[in-house]
Structure 1
């Protein structure tokens, strides 16, 4: 089960991908605009987008690696403690059943 940090990282990666996509679209839409200021801003934005893409890729790789580590640790624990794992799963299922039954 992913912890809050991993969920936050995954959400950050997804949000950054959306932002980069929106910025790319903005660059495409303003391609025909003339003027020194517009060209300057477009150039800076292009550089920052390239940098952001690189960082998002690194962050995404980090999230995948952490997720794999957590999954492997969980798998090892379940293999070493099968009956405790079954008990925990049964307890969680029981609690979820109680909560669902109240609605």
Structure 2
């Protein structure tokens, strides 16, 4: 089947889920009786903080890039409206032609 009813998950959301699961594991007190667990928890907690910071940075960069692209598209549409209209009409005709051939 070409299209699935399941929504695709992004690698970013998978990484966020992994970080949240690992954070929950670290907060569990079941592992307190294992030797050297405090050192391991400290290292993992530090790396989790770094991973969360990286996720925030990636998200901020993606949002900034999206705003830049949207502003560029808006500027282009205001400077060249007939080119945008012509492109939209051409795309509509092509899509209509393709759908009528079914």
TM-score (norm 2): 0.73
1:92 deviation in Å? Answer: 2.0
- Report the equivalent of 2:69: 70
- Which has the greater radius of gyration? 2
CA deviations on 1:26-66 (whole Å, 9 max, x unpaired) are: 223x4221212433332221110011111111111111111
Q: What runs of 5+ residues in structure 2 fail to find an aligned partner?
A: 1-9
Aligned residues: CA RMSD = 2.1
Q: What runs of 5+ residues in structure 1 fail to find an aligned partner?
A: 1-10
1:68 deviation in Å? Answer: 0.4
Matches within 5 A, 1:40-55: 40-55=39-54
TM-score (norm 1): 0.72
